């Protein structure tokens, strides 16, 4: 199995062609673009991130970026004033809902577009190691996105680009374009390419397609398609009806997918995500076969009153980061029970 290797004398980790600062990264979308325009929340959606040194993570993954700005089911803005906060919270209620052990979201790829990101945000995050998440509805769109990143970002300045060809919040069957995306977009990239897998698609087949196409690593997993209804009216809570379930509830699914990928002979490096909150969670994913782990909604999201504890939650994140950075070698994966 191809495993992560320590880069000598630099305190970095190599996942195939991808160089990270360590084995702990942040998941797509949760921290926006790595920096924001609003002084209230300078790093994106989560106030917790204001108290965490993002530059010390293995990499920070952006929210998914499209060729053109996209409102999705929310907004492209991140510059709300305090006076707009009540309206903003009401809008959040239509795209993000807590559930038992996690969150269901349907933001629908709301983003400023690749050009605005590269012009207004990326230059302010050069102290971070970055994974740029890209999304589109055709191979042509992915080729355009890859070309824009190539033109603006010299090889080696980011960790990778991540192809989000598995999101449930945009009402599109990505299985119809995946092979074309791999065939046309991957060879054009000047940067390592990560494919993001969904547990709701044939992830083993998709992983094998990715390996054959020259993809450098896999992200496992994307959110799980889910639904929440108002028990009083029967109406869906989310604007999109269906959303993506994330958080502690999907950790057993994420572990299963990572393990099945390894058992199925997939040797590409895997960045595991889904319910990661503690050092023990990280260790479980490493034992399942992951090479790096990603912190998502289980860490960065909280109930609105819960954000008052953001500095304390950030201390916990710092402890997890410190522990993962100390690991020079991955825990050996136990032999499967037969």
Helix (H, G, I), strand (E, B) or coil at 159: coil
Phi first, then psi, for residue 60 (nearest 5°) are -110, 125
Alpha-carbon span 49 to 251, nearest angstrom: 22
Annotated active-site residue in 30, 36, 45, 167: 167
CB atoms within 10 A of CB 220: 31
Alpha-carbon span 298 to 247, nearest angstrom: 5
Phi first, then psi, for residue 97 (nearest 5°) are -135, 140
Cα dihedral 309, 315, 318, 320 in deg (nearest 10): -90
Instruction: Please indicate whether residue 282 is annotated as part of the active site.
Output: no
Q: Catalytic residues, which ones?
A: 167
């Amino acid at each position: 199995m191809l495993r992560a290797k320590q880069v000598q004398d630099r305190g970095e980790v190599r996942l195939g062609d991808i160089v990270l600062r360590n084995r702990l990264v942040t998941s797509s979308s949760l921290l926006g673009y790595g920096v924001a325009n609003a002084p209230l929340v300078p790093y994106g959606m989560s106030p917790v991130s204001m108290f965490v040194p993002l530059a010390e993570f293995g990499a920070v993954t952006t929210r998914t970026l499209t060729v053109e700005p996209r409102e999705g089911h929310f907004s492209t803005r991140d510059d709300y004033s305090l006076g707009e906060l009540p309206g903003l919270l009401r809008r959040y209620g239509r795209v993000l809902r807590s559930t038992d052990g996690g969150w269901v979201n349907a933001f629908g790829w709301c983003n400023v577009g690749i050009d605005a990101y590269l012009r207004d945000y990326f230059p302010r995050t050069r102290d971070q190691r970055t994974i740029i998440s890209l999304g589109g509805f055709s191979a042509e769109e992915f080729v355009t996105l890859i070309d824009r990143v190539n033109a603006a970002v010299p090889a080696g300045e980011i960790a990778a680009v991540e192809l989000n060809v598995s999101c449930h919040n945009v009402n599109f069957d990505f299985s119809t374009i995946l092979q074309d995306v791999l065939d046309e977009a991957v060879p054009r990239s000047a940067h390592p390419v990560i494919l993001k897998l969904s547990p709701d698609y044939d992830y083993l087949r998709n992983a094998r397609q990715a390996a054959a196409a020259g993809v450098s690593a896999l992200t496992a997993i994307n959110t799980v398609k889910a639904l929440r209804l108002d028990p009083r009216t029967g109406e869906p809570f989310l604007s999109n009806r269906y959303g993506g379930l994330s958080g502690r509830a999907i950790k057993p699914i994420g572990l299963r997918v990572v393990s099945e990928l390894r058992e199925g002979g997939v040797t590409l490096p895997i960045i595991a995500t889904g319910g990661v909150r503690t050092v023990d969670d990280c260790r479980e994913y490493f034992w399942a076969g992951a090479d790096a782990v990603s912190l998502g909604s289980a860490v960065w999201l909280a109930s609105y009153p819960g954000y008052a504890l953001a500095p304390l939650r950030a201390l916990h994140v710092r402890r997890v980061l410190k522990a993962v950075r100390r690991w020079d070698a991955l825990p050996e994966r136990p032999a499967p029970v037969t």
